[in-house]
């Protein structure tokens, strides 16, 4: 009996695994079919032909989202849902047309979803606005192809492209494209990043409340005030959508576009507008949807870029602190080694004196010996520290200096207090240099910041100019400011640690910068300009093929 139970165990496990494998597809299929049916029912307004194609058709968005999120294997499910929807109300004219329409809808929008899934990365709405443009253009193009196929199926063909055919294509394209613009971004956000989208919405409760109030006010004026033509006032509905897009980026604009479309459809139903008027509204809504989504995507991308700049700034600040500690350690080692050497010298002198006059305590020579030993040991530790700091060059590589300078300038421009000074870079066609990328970024960041601060303090100019050129086996980058320059007392010690012209500075920035450049085979020099201001010249070694592997 025990053997029988053991023999049955693998079978039960395999059944359990098979059951688990089919749970997710089954749930997805049931949810899709229910959603498809519900959207078909709520969007059945201003239909033409017995197949109920309408001016607002959100079901293609559901099909495209299904394939983009879960893959082309679900395309047959879209065909089944379209067939069921065609016969749901018993109005389909025949099996041939119903099956043909379902095949075109499922195949066309399934193919569109597969193409978008292949060409677009996850997170397109956060990382790259051009992906959003690709999505909207792809949706419009794919919808046109599908609409043309459906119109051809339901139009008597006599060898001439008729006005009736073009009208059907336009109506189908408008309804489907608007439905995709309005619903697809929301479905993708829920399918890929539901937690983040919902979190964004919770954080923007006040903004959402204000948006809804603004939308209600705008739609009330557009649809329920009779002193002007509705289409002339439709642009009032742009205001709340654009406002929420500016406030909350793509996460807010997707919801704003969806709620605006729903509100417009409800108003159209309440007022009983004819099909021609609804057609005009949908054309405007298509423009509004694209505008809101593109603006939301641009705002989100800008916020993301600012966050990346802040992160890069924090990383560079951490690198600066580490470098400052190293430079400070080197400076302290240099300063402390001198008194230690003096202590050792005096102790040895005392030992010589004791040898000449031994009539003192016998413990004194032993104590002096300990002083000498400890001072020498401390000196050895400090020398090792300086050598370790001097040899820490980091990884060096070939670097495009113009790209690095542009990156540093972008970081500086992102700082609010630097916004009154214009930093221009004139360094075209520079050859590659050889050095440590982080070190060079830190050096140029220190120097450009210093130049900006010097220019701001004087308040007689607002320009910092960065130029570059090749000079022998180095590239020289020149940074000119419009400050007061460096006074003669400070000029001779400018690159020494703890020497500064700033009231709250530590005097380590220039010392760190020169130390980093010397470690990489370059250097920094400066001079005052005749008309006022200072010029710092950074010399960076050129990249040579023999540098590979070093």
pLDDT band at 477; cut points 50, 70, 90:
very high
CA gap 270, 225 in Å, rounded:
13
CATH code for the domain in which residue 332 is found: 1.10.287
Dump pLDDT digits (tens) for 352-389. 767 766 666 566 666 666 676 666 666 665 665 555 55
Q: Say how many Å lie between the first and final Cα of the chain, rounded.
A: 72
Sign of CA dihedral 177, 182, 183, 187: positive
Residue 8 lies in a domain: no
Whether 355 and 266 map to the same domain: the answer is no
Show which of 283, 311, 339 is a domain's final residue.
311
Would you state the pLDDT for residue 109? 92
Q: What is the chain's Cα-based Rg?
A: 37
Dump pLDDT digits (tens) for 23-44. 778 888 888 888 888 888 777 7
Supply 329's token pair. Answer: 């350690």
3/191: higher pLDDT: 191
Which residue has tokens 């025949």? 94
Would you state the pLDDT for residue 7? 45
b/e map 516-542, b = 16+ CB within 10 Å: bbebbbbebebebeeeebbbbbbbbbb
Q: What is the DSSP letter of 539?
A: E
Q: Exposed, middle or buried, 115 (CB in 10 Å: 0-12/13-18/19+)? A: middle
- Residue 456, pLDDT > 50, answer yes
pLDDT band at 1; cut points 50, 70, 90:
very low
Least confident of 132-136, 185-189, 392-396: 392-396
Would you state the pLDDT for residue 193? 75
Would you state the pLDDT for residue 52? 47
What is the three-class DSSP state of 281?
helix
Count: domains in the chain: 3
Domain that holds residue 512: 397-547
Q: Are 252 and 207 in contact (CB under 8 A)?
A: yes
Would you state the pLDDT for residue 341? 66
pLDDT band at 429; cut points 50, 70, 90:
confident
Show which of 362, 390, 418 is a domain's final residue.
390
- Residue 213, pLDDT > 90, answer yes
Residue 21 lies in a domain: no
Whether 386 and 401 map to the same domain: the answer is no
Q: Are 450 and 509 in contact (CB under 8 A)?
A: yes
Supply 459's token pair. Answer: 């308040």
Whether 382 and 507 map to the same domain: the answer is no
**Rounded to 5 degrees, what angle do the CA atoms 281, 286, 290 make?**
145
Whether 306 and 324 map to the same domain: the answer is no
- Residue 534, pLDDT > 70, answer yes
pLDDT band at 214; cut points 50, 70, 90:
very high
What's the mean pLDDT in 294-298?
89
Whether 238 and 289 map to the same domain: the answer is yes
Whether 294 and 343 map to the same domain: the answer is no
Residue 167 lies in a domain: yes
What is the three-class DSSP state of 535?
strand
- Residue 335, pLDDT > 60, answer no
Whether 374 and 421 map to the same domain: the answer is no
Residue 365 lies in a domain: yes
Dump pLDDT digits (tens) for 75-85. 998 888 888 77
Show which of 360, 390, 420 is a domain's final residue.
390
Whether 363 and 403 map to the same domain: the answer is no
- Residue 18, pLDDT > 50, answer no
Least confident of 169-178, 297-306, 382-391, 510-519: 382-391
Share of the chain above pLDDT 90, in %: 16
What's the mean pLDDT in 297-321?
76
Would you state the pLDDT for residue 8? 46
Residue 260 lies in a domain: yes
Instruction: Give the chain's mean pLDDT.
Output: 77
What count of other Cβ atoms lies within 10 Å of the Cβ of residue 337?
A: 19
Residue 286 lies in a domain: yes
Whether 293 and 330 map to the same domain: the answer is no
Q: Are 281 and 175 in contact (CB under 8 A)?
A: no
Whether 415 and 449 map to the same domain: the answer is yes
What's the mean pLDDT in 428-440?
85
Dump pLDDT digits (tens) for 193-205. 777 777 877 888 8
Dump pLDDT digits (tens) for 146-189. 988 888 887 766 555 677 778 788 888 988 999 999 999 888 88
Q: Are 260 and 241 in contact (CB under 8 A)?
A: yes
Would you state the pLDDT for residue 34? 87
Residue 495 lies in a domain: yes
CATH code for the domain in which residue 409 is found: 3.30.565.10
Whether 418 and 301 map to the same domain: the answer is no
Residue 459 lies in a domain: yes
Would you state the pLDDT for residue 466? 92
pLDDT band at 121; cut points 50, 70, 90:
low
Whether 295 and 331 map to the same domain: the answer is no
What's the mean pLDDT in 250-276?
87
Instruction: Give, for 426, the enclosing helix (H) or strand (E).
Output: strand 422-426
Would you state the pLDDT for residue 16? 45
């Amino acid at each position: 009996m025990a053997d029988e139970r053991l023999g049955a165990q693998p079978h039960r496990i395999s059944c359990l695994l098979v059951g688990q494998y089919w749970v997710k597809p089954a749930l997805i299929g049931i949810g899709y079919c229910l959603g498809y049916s519900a959207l078909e029912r709520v969007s059945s307004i201003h239909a033409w032909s017995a197949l109920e194609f309408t001016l607002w058709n959100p079901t293609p968005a559901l099909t495209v989202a299904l394939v983009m999120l879960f893959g082309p294997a679900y395309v047959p499910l879209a065909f089944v849902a379209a067939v069921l929807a065609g016969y749901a109300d018993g109005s389909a004219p025949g099996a041939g047309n119903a099956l043909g329409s379902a095949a075109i809808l499922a195949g066309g929008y399934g193919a569109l979803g597969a193409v978008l899934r292949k060409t677009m990365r996850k997170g397109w709405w956060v990382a790259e606005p051009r992906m959003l443009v690709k999505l909207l253009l792809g949706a419009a193009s794919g919808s046109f192809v599908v609409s043309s196929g459906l119109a051809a199926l339901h139009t008597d063909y006599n060898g001439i492209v008729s006005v009736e055919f073009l009208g059907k294509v336009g109506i189908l394209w408008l309804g489907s494209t608007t439905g995709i613009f309005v619903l697809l971004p929301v479905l993708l956000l829920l399918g890929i990043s539901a937690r983040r989208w919902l979190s964004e919405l919770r954080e923007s409760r006040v903004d959402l409340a204000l948006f809804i109030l603004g939308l209600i006010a705008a739609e009330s004026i557009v649809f329920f005030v009779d002193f002007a033509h509705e289409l002339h006032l439709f642009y009032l509905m742009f205001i709340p959508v654009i406002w929420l897009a500016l406030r909350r980026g793509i996460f807010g604009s997707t919801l704003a576009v969806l709620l605006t479309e729903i509100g417009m459809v409800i108003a159209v139903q309440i007022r009983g507008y004819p099909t021609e008027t609804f057609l005009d509204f949908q054309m405007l809504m298509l423009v509004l949807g694209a505008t809101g989504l593109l603006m939301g995507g641009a705002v989100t991308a800008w916020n993301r870029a600012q966050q990346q700049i802040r992160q890069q700034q924090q990383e560079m600040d951490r690198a600066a602190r580490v470098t400052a500690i190293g430079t400070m350690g080197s400076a302290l080692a240099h300063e402390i080694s001198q008194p230690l050497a003096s202590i050792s010298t005096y102790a040895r002198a005392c030992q010589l004196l004791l040898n000449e006059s031994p009539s003192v305590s016998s413990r004194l020579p032993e104590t002096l010996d300990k002083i000498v030993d400890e001072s020498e040991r401390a000196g050895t530790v400090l020398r090792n520290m300086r050598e370790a700091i001097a040899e820490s060059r980091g990884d060096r590589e070939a670097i495009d200096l113009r790209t690095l300078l542009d990156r540093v300038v972008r970081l500086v421009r992102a700082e609010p207090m630097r916004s009154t000074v214009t930093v221009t870079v004139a360094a075209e066609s520079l050859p590659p240099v050889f050095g440590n990328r982080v070190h060079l970024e830190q050096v140029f960041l220190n120097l450009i910041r210093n130049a900006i601060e010097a220019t701001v303090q004087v308040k007689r100019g607002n320009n910092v100019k960065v130029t570059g050129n090749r000079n022998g086996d180095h590239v020289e980058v020149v940074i000119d400011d419009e400050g007061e320059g460096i006074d003669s007392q400070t000029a001779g010690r400018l690159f020494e640690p703890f020497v500064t012209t700033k009231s709250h500075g530590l005097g380590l920035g220039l010392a760190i910068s020169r130390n980093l450049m010397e470690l990489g085979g370059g250097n920094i020099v400066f001079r005052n300009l005749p008309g006022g201001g200072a010029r710092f010249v950074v010399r960076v070694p050129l990249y040579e093929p023999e540098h590979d592997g070093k």
